[in-house]
Amino acid sequence: MKSRATAAVVALTASVVLAGPAIPAETLRVCADPDNLPFSRAEGSEHGLYVELAELVASRLGLRPEYAWFISNYGRRAVRSTLLADRCDAYFGLPDDAEFMGRSVIRTRPFLDVGYAVIGPRPLALSSLNDIKGRRVAVQFGTTPQLLLATRPGFTAVTFRLAEEAMEALTRGEADVAFLWGPSAGYFNKTRLGGAYAIVPVAGEGLQWQAAVGVRKGQDSLKVDLDRVLDQLKPEINTLADKYGFPLARPIELDGRRGEIGRSLFNQHCSHCHAPNAMSPEPTRDLRRLTLRYGSRMRETAYATIMGGRVDKGMPAWKDMLGEEGIQHVLGFLESVQRAP
């Protein structure tokens, strides 16, 4: 990894080889923004989560990583000018959303949850959006939180051009809390503020997303390779996310709507064993203890159990009854009732 830091990476648009010690003949051409920490950076000692992950992925595939750098101020244009122009083959960190770029881009399974977060001095108690009502909330221009606060009465946004400027305003007391893209805020908090602020990821429409690797239509075998390797690299991805300060806690459902549908479904289908509103007095059936029990694996464990059941313990499979969407609602509800560790 050391040799990469010394590689001469100057031109913004040229493909630049970041050579490793043993140089395989075949390359993995990676599309990346040259100056966009914590995601990617061409120069300096830190290269960002997506670049470090690309290095690991290439290494597992026995390929030599090579980079096409392009500033992604205009996201679709960056994808068109790099990935779709055949200047690179793998764009790390595109939204796992079929609407984005249509059919010209195919995506791996998502490898990371990313989203917006509320940032404030510790302790930061947050259970709904109302908790920041009436406070001065620093937001970034053109982001979902700016839109969200503008469309609800009683909220006061203080708008900044960059997430970093919003964080600085928070430290100067020009805002009471901030509502920003989690990874940007987390990285700033970690590298500049010594982790002084609490960062609480929040969920709601347009607030939580999943990042995938985009490849060109037709590159199906590359996609299969990437999926396999990304799956193997899950522990390393978590380590990298932690290194760059990405907030990893489960998001809090802000508007409660998903939780409300989930509560209703839960009370119809689950309450005869797990008690209405999940308030079971029997610890083994008390689903408010899932996070205590499974920690960061809470959601995937609960998801697998609800989908497939645990027939030997009397828990049926709910896949056909609730469907994927219903299960997500129930999970949203369950997350909203978890006991603090």
Partner 1 sequence: MRALATSFLATALLVTGLVSSVGAQTGGAWAVYGGDNANTRYSTLTQINASNVGRLKVAWALQLGSLRSQESTPIVVGDLLYVTSSHGPKNVFAVDARTGEVRWRYSPEVPAGIEQYACCDVNNRGVAHANGKIFVARLDGHLAALDARTGKELWKSQVIDHTSGSIITSPPTIVKNLVITGFGGGEFGVRGYITAFDQNTGREVWKLYTVPAAGEPGSDTWKGDSWKFGGGVAWHIGSYDPALNLLYYGTSNPAPWGAAIRGNDSSNIGQFTNLYTASTLAINPDTGKLVWHYQHTPHDAWDYDGVNELVLVDLDIGGQKTPVALKADRNGFFYVLDRRNGKLLSADKFVDLNWAKSIDMATGRPVENAEKRPRLGFRAKDICPNLIGGKNWMPMSYSFQTGLVYLPTMNLCMDMEGAQPQYKRGAFYLAVEFDLGKTGPGGHLGEVIAWDPVKQQKVWGNKDELPYLGGMLSTAGGLVFHGDLKGWFKALDAKTGSMLWKFNTGSGVSAAPMTYELGGKQYLAVVSGRTFAIPAFFGPIGEKMVAASAEGGTLFVFELPTQ
Report the interface residues with partner 1, using CB under 8 A. 11-13, 33, 36, 38-40, 50, 70-78, 80, 93-95, 97, 99-100, 114, 141-144, 146-147, 149-151, 156-159, 161, 181, 183-184, 205-206, 209
DSSP string, 28-66: EEEEE-SEETTTEESSSS--HHHHHHHHHHHHHTT-EEE
What minimum distance in Å lies between the beta carbon of 72 and partner 1? 5
Which residue's CB is nearer to partner 1, number 120 or number 182? 182
What minimum distance in Å lies between the beta carbon of 21 and partner 1? 29
Which residue's CB is nearer to partner 1, number 185 or number 331? 185
Which residue's CB is nearer to partner 1, number 209 or number 266? 209
Which residue's CB is nearer to partner 1, number 40 or number 189? 40
> Which tokens in the block code for residue 11?
């031109």
What minimum distance in Å lies between the beta carbon of 157 and partner 1? 6
End-to-end CA distance of the chain: 37
Which residue's CB is nearer to partner 1, number 75 or number 309? 75
CA distance 333 to 322: 14
CA distance 263 to 267: 6
CA distance 225 to 89: 13
- Residue in 18, 22, 15 with CA at minimum distance from that of residue 55: 18
What minimum distance in Å lies between the beta carbon of 3 and partner 1? 25
State the amino acid at position 85 in one-letter form.
Answer: A
- Residue in 39, 43, 87 with CA at minimum distance from that of residue 67: 87
Strands (E), 242-284: 252-253
Which residue's CB is nearer to partner 1, number 180 or number 278? 180
Which residue's CB is nearer to partner 1, number 180 or number 226? 180
Letter string b/e over residues 98-136, b meaning 16 or more CB atoms within 10 A of that residue's CB: eebbeeebbbbebbbbbbbbbbbeeeeebeebebbeeeb
What minimum distance in Å lies between the beta carbon of 71 and partner 1? 4
What minimum distance in Å lies between the beta carbon of 234 and partner 1? 20
What minimum distance in Å lies between the beta carbon of 101 and partner 1? 9
